[in-house]
Amino acid sequence: MKSIQLMLAATLILACGYGCSNSDDRQSDAQVASARLQNDRTSSSLLREAEQAERDHNYAHALEVYSYLKGFPDSSRPSDLDARIKRDQAKMGDNRQSD
C-alpha cells in the first residue's frame, strides 16, 4: 500500500512540476518526453503490483491498484483494464460465496 502512495505522490509532484507552469512558458520536448517516460514507468510498476496481488489471490488490492491505473492516460494503461477489473470483481464474488 505504501508503494502505491509513494508512486502516486511522485506522479503528482511531477505532474505539478510539468503542468503548473505559466502558459507563457513552453515545455521543451525533453521535459514532455521525461514526464511521459515517468508516467509509463509508474503505470508499469502499478501494473506489476496488481498482477502480483492477483497471483497472491488478493483481488481487493488488485482492484484498488487497477482503479489508480484508470486515472492514467489510455496510452499508459493496459488496453484490457476494464476486463481485468471485471475478472477480479467476479473472483471476489466467487470467494465471498465459498466463505
- Taking the CB of residue 66, how many other CB atoms lie within 10 A of it? 24
pLDDT on residue 41: 81
pLDDT on residue 24: 43
Task: Note down pLDDT in tens along the chain; length 99 residues.
Answer: 666 665 655 665 655 555 555 444 566 887 777 777 777 789 999 999 999 999 999 999 999 999 999 988 888 889 999 999 999 999 998 766 554
pLDDT on residue 52: 97
49-52 contacts at long range (C-beta below 8 A, 24 or more positions apart): 49/3, 49/4, 50/84
Question: What's the CA gap between 66 and 91, in Å, rounded?
Answer: 15
pLDDT on residue 66: 96
